Structure 1
């Protein structure tokens, strides 16, 4: 069994979209140090609309990218994610097709924050329990049941201290991009949440911040689909 954070960013800031910056190698080294400190075996680097193509010395790196689709963000991880994408240009369906061509997995990222991807009728490989808002776990579990896909965990870290606040246990014999993709598709993964006190404090800060921006949602369901509203979820996180 291996543990990986499947959603991290190698910079502290937004902007300069779709291209690497000189800060990326620095951010990657800091992520490596923090991940090792939390006992993780690997991380996926998933910068917004570009793949920094960086590796770590101490832990396994899973290449990835967080693609800004026409309906929200989708994580693409595996051996050969796209180098860069045009923010907001691709539909979720087009991202799934692109990922399949490159033997990568597609994951619905933070499905209850500024996104309608969760309502797209398309064959995603997994849905994310996002480290910023694990209180949405019950809602994420419902998506997973309805779609018959597994749940993975990712911190969505833009600052190294956030790495590992949510992570994924992967049942595999070896830790490679291909084995992680296979485990996700086979359902041999489990989302976990860290109970380290600083992580809990940061979650509270993000909940207030995103509520103030009006980008958090509590879903309501009809028989099969979700509708958007404007507040946070209430279910309790799983313990590490």
Structure 2
């Protein structure tokens, strides 16, 4: 089975089950833009030059501190190839944040961002926090997507924007942490001003917004077998 589960923490003193909130984040974008290496750089501080395209889904977790709370991120990384689209509904269900990744050296991967964004918004809550990520910033001499073009697009679509390099770790931690921080603050505001379901952000309790059934469905789906 091609599903992988990795547990890490940004602080060695944080126990795996010691967290205040659990948020599900998804990584989406074309195959080969570096989603898996972004994930491994953030969770394990590793980069593999031999990294192969993800087949099916990989899972990882990492805990970070946000406003004196421990936020545990459950990160889902799936293949960008069209033949794996069958996992869409289970993959997106419960996601409150997303990194939409393109490769700054391949303009077609940026052009496809619009399609990925539509799919994401079709399957998630309107309040999902989205970070547009231009990866492989270390290859600036091969740049095909101007920074301002991507920034303008992200502003029009109400997304955050950052350029990263999984190879040299530039902005990787910042991208994930910024999304998690924004999710926490959006949910906190909704709980405080009463605009959201008051049970959605119970004070001092964990929110498991990822259904075990979803994980099982993705792992057992024929599309995810190696």
Whose Rg is larger? 2
Higher relative contact order (CA 8 A, sep 6+): 2
TM-score (norm 2): 0.38
- Higher helix proportion, which one? 2
